[in-house]
Amino acid sequence: MQTRNRFMDDVSQLMTNAMGVAQGARTEAETAMKSLMDRWLADRDFVTREEFDAVRAMAQKAREENEALKARIAALEEGASGKS
Q: What is the mean pLDDT of each run of 10 residues along the chain (84 residues)?
A: 74 89 92 93 86 97 98 92 72
Please tell me whether residues 34 and 56 are part of one structural domain: no
Write out pLDDT tens, residues 4-27: 688 888 888 889 998 989 999 999
Residues 56 and 41 in one domain: no
What is the sign of the dihedral through the CA atoms of 73, 76, 78 and 84?
A: negative
* Domain of 30, in residue numbers: 1-45
Query: Taking the model in full, what pTM does it have?
Result: 0.46
Classified as helix, coil or strand, 64 is helix
Rounded Cα distance, 29 and 35, in Å: 10
Residues 28 and 9 in one domain: yes
* DSSP secondary structure code for residue 44 in this structure: T
